[in-house]
Chain A
Amino acid sequence: MERAAEEKLGDRLVADWVSGAHLRFASDEARGKYQARAQLIIDTIRLEDTGRIPVIPAATQKFAFDYGPVTFREAMTEFDKVFDAYVRQYEDTDFDAYVGPEFIYPAGMFEALRWNRVRLPGVHLPDDKSFQFVEAEYMKAEEYDEYLDDPSDWILRKYLPRLSPELEPLGQLPPLRNTVTFFQGLTDLVVAAAENPGLVEAVKALQASGRAVQEWFDYLGRIDQELGGRLALPHLLGPMAHAPFDIISNYYRGWRGAIVDMFSRPEKMIALMERLLPWQLQYGIDGARALGQPIVTLYLYKGADGFMSDEQYEQLYWPTLKKLILGLVDEGLLVWLFTQGKYDSRLHHFKEIPAGTCLIHLESATDAGLAKEVLAGSQCIEGNVPSSLLATASVGEVEAYCVELAERCGKGGGFMMDFSAFLDEAKRENVKKMIEVARAYRGGGGTGRA
């Protein structure tokens, strides 16, 4: 529901973000350039016809590391080295915004907990391979009711112990809901603690993991200052939330488990998604407020074409996702929807969201021309340049692809140039050509502001 005249959180965050209120600029020139870029991005999301195509990076991994060079292992452990690699990457390219190493988590965070949902370079994989997540069944089919009844209890005593052997002692605690007073519950809790020396080690592991994350946060802050304050690049990737269906299928039940549930207990799935919805919404809002970032990102996983039928999408995937997006938009926030895989048949749903509030990332499998057609006047689209093309094709081939893409999607605004997926193997000259094509674009009716 639209709120009255009061200023929305998102409006204030947009103003702060565009002004670069959180940055110390190296010069007035850097400030001016930053503000022009940030404004261009906001205007493009809001579907103003700027006559320009901003060019943004979905995320770079090995492509950035090669500027060091650093290995994947070093990127997760030696932050000073990878800091330099990202800075050099952005000095050498001419993007309108940056996405940094927000997904290159610190190895120490996982290692301290022996987190079993991840395979790490230097531990399970060679140093030059990307870390990867393992999708497995961490929640049993019969645990829906337990979760619905007391989610935090399930997370503390079931989920975390399954994810980390270091946290198994948490599973031996009694349910905290019975802790009422000293003669009810507290005695159970303290006796369980006394009988469980592993708890001390579990807390130590949490703290060690936390120290790795603190160090990493500090490094992300330094990157933001350097790339924002000196290189004048607005930061695109900030607060995040998840589609409730993806939480179940990616993190709790795994894809197989989720599929069995789609047929065997859809009502439980829906109940759980409805339970998750307000928490995800609040998480996105709180994150935006904490980071001073008006764009909330949702990576979308299992809703792609072919992953389920339209009917299943409309029954199970879209309803809570839509409510989540609408909730964020109602706060004045903008939503970056990072579709993965082919999304042709789902695009029309984004028209159900107020116009000019979403940025829809397209992988190369999605027909960008179709997306433009379906979403023109409704939502901004970005992406689609195949990572494989950037890795293997000639500069001329990249130019031809990007020129055609710009012509098909740039007209009237509402389009940003970007590659399809995380960039690993790509020729620098190809990435530069992609940027050059976007930079050279001049559509009709520009505002000339940027």
Chain B
Amino acid sequence: MSQALTDAILGMRMDEAVTLAKRMRDGGADPLAIIAHGSEAMEEIGRRFAAGEAFLPELIMGGEIMKAVTSEVMPGGTGSAETDSRGTVVIGTVHGDIHDIGKDIVALMLGIEGYAVHDLGIDVPVEDFVAAVKEHDADIVALSGLLTLAFDAMRSTVDGIAADGLRDKVKIMVGGAPVDESVRAYTGADGWGNDVGHAVRLAGEWTGGGA
């Protein structure tokens, strides 16, 4: 039945995936094992996405199916499981900007790739980024923004992290549709990207594992 679950997720059939997961749990399967099967399907979606064989809708739909499967088999949530991660990422849309699609996709994809991702949401103040870097002992900070007005907010966030003595501890990427090398230089970040592939590659390079 686990193969059927994988097939349902890869086939983007949410109702079927949830029904199968429920049947597996009712049949005595370990909820964590069911979720692990789902995660394998998500890894395959991530691979297809990286290869240009799947697109945002598949990635987001896969995430939605996994959310539904998880809440069906473990209504209380899976708790935190960061021990085996490839690295810790703090991500958020910088202050003054409330766009979340790009940020959400990068967070989702980095999660699939095995990073422990802490998503601070949108319109995130500098001090929240600083606090999250300390709290989670982050390796990477990912600053997102869609507006050109976000460039200043990205720069002040990088400055804020530096002012707290954390600059050498983390790698910082800036990302969003209008972001390019000139924005990276302006903000003082270590890398930039304007699609999810960029972000994943950068994270891979920085954590030594490749993309």
A-to-B contact residues, CB < 8 Å: 62, 119, 125-126, 129-130, 132, 134-135, 255-256, 259-260, 262-264, 306-309, 312, 340-341, 363-365, 386-389, 391-393, 420-426
Instruction: Report A-chain residues with C-beta under 8 Å of the C-beta of B195.
Output: 306
A312 pairs with B57, CB closer than 8 A: yes
Residue of B60, B99, B185 near A259 (CB, 8 A) is: B60
Residue of B55, B101, B149, B185 near A392 (CB, 8 A) is: B185
B148 pairs with A424, CB closer than 8 A: yes
Instruction: Report A-chain residues with C-beta under 8 Å of the C-beta of B185.
Output: 392
Residue of A119, A256, A392 near B98 (CB, 8 A) is: A119
Indicate whether A364 sits within 8 Å of B178 (C-beta atoms), given known contacts A132-B98, A255-B101, A425-B149: yes
Q: In chain B between 73 and 104, which residues have their CB closer than 8 angstroms to a CB of chain A?
A: 96-99, 101
Instruction: Report B-chain residues with C-beta under 8 Å of the C-beta of A363.
Output: 177
Q: In chain B between 99 and 113, which residues have their CB closer than 8 angstroms to a CB of chain A?
A: 99, 101
Question: B64 at interface (Cβ–Cβ under 8 A)?
Answer: yes
A264 pairs with B98, CB closer than 8 A: no
Q: How far is the CA of A129 from the CA of B178 in the complex (A)?
A: 17
B101 pairs with A424, CB closer than 8 A: no
The interface bits of chain B over 166-185 (1 if a CB of A lies within 8 angstroms of the residue's CB, else 0) are 00000000000111101101
Residue of B13, B61, B177, B195 ringed by the most chain A CB atoms within 10 A: B177
Indicate whether A420 sits within 8 Å of B178 (C-beta atoms), given known contacts A307-B56, A312-B55, A312-B57: yes
Across the A-B interface, the 8 shortest Cβ-Cβ residue pairs: A263-B12, A129-B96, A392-B182, A259-B57, A309-B55, A424-B148, A132-B98, A259-B60
How many chain B residues touch A (CB < 8 A): the figure is: 32
Instruction: Report B-chain residues with C-beta under 8 Å of the C-beta of A312.
Output: 55, 57
Chain B residue with Cβ nearest A125 = B96
B57 pairs with A132, CB closer than 8 A: no
- 11 examples of A-B residue contacts, CB within 8 angstroms: A129-B149, A132-B147, A263-B14, A264-B14, A307-B56, A309-B54, A365-B177, A388-B182, A391-B148, A392-B182, A392-B186
B-to-A contact residues, CB < 8 Å: 12-15, 54-57, 60-61, 64, 96-99, 101, 123, 147-149, 151-152, 177-180, 182-183, 185-186, 194-195
Q: How far is the CA of A135 from the CA of B54 in the complex (A)?
A: 24
A388 pairs with B151, CB closer than 8 A: yes
Instruction: Report B-chain residues with C-beta under 8 Å of the C-beta of A387.
Output: 148, 178
Residue of A132, A393, A421 ringed by the most chain B CB atoms within 10 A: A132
Chain B residue with Cβ nearest A386 = B180
Q: How far is the CA of A263 from the CA of B11 in the complex (A)?
A: 9
Residue of B12, B13, B56, B99 near A306 (CB, 8 A) is: B56
Indicate whether A388 sits within 8 Å of B178 (C-beta atoms), given known contacts A264-B14, A306-B195: yes
Q: How far is the CA of A135 from the CA of B98 in the complex (A)?
A: 10
Indicate whether A424 sits within 8 Å of B98 (C-beta atoms), given known contacts A307-B56, A363-B177, A392-B183: no
Indicate whether A260 sits within 8 Å of B148 (C-beta atoms), given known contacts A388-B182, A420-B178: no
Nearest CB of B to A32, in Å:
36
Instruction: Report A-chain residues with C-beta under 8 Å of the C-beta of B97.
Output: 132
Instruction: Report B-chain residues with C-beta under 8 Å of the C-beta of A365.
Output: 177, 194
Instruction: Report B-chain residues with C-beta under 8 Å of the C-beta of A307.
Output: 55-57
Instruction: Report A-chain residues with C-beta under 8 Å of the C-beta of B101.
Output: 135, 255
Residue of A125, A256, A340, A423 near B60 (CB, 8 A) is: A256
Nearest CB of A to B168, in Å:
25
Q: How far is the CA of A262 from the CA of B48 in the complex (A)?
A: 19
Q: How far is the CA of A113 from the CA of B149 in the complex (A)?
A: 27
A262 pairs with B56, CB closer than 8 A: no
Residue of B15, B54, B99, B148 near A425 (CB, 8 A) is: B148
Indicate whether A262 sits within 8 Å of B57 (C-beta atoms), given known contacts A130-B147, A306-B195: yes
Residue of B64, B123, B152, B183 near A388 (CB, 8 A) is: B183
Nearest CB of A to B173, in Å:
16
Indicate whether A260 sits within 8 Å of B177 (C-beta atoms), given known contacts A255-B101, A365-B194: no
Q: How far is the CA of A190 from the CA of B185 in the complex (A)?
A: 65
Indicate whether A308 sits within 8 Å of B56 (C-beta atoms), given known contacts A256-B64, A388-B178: yes
Instruction: Report A-chain residues with C-beta under 8 Å of the C-beta of B57.
Output: 259, 262-263, 307-309, 312
Nearest CB of A to B157, in Å:
15
Indicate whether A62 sits within 8 Å of B149 (C-beta atoms), given known contacts A259-B60, A262-B57, A307-B56: yes
Instruction: Report B-chain residues with C-beta under 8 Å of the C-beta of A130.
Output: 96, 147, 149
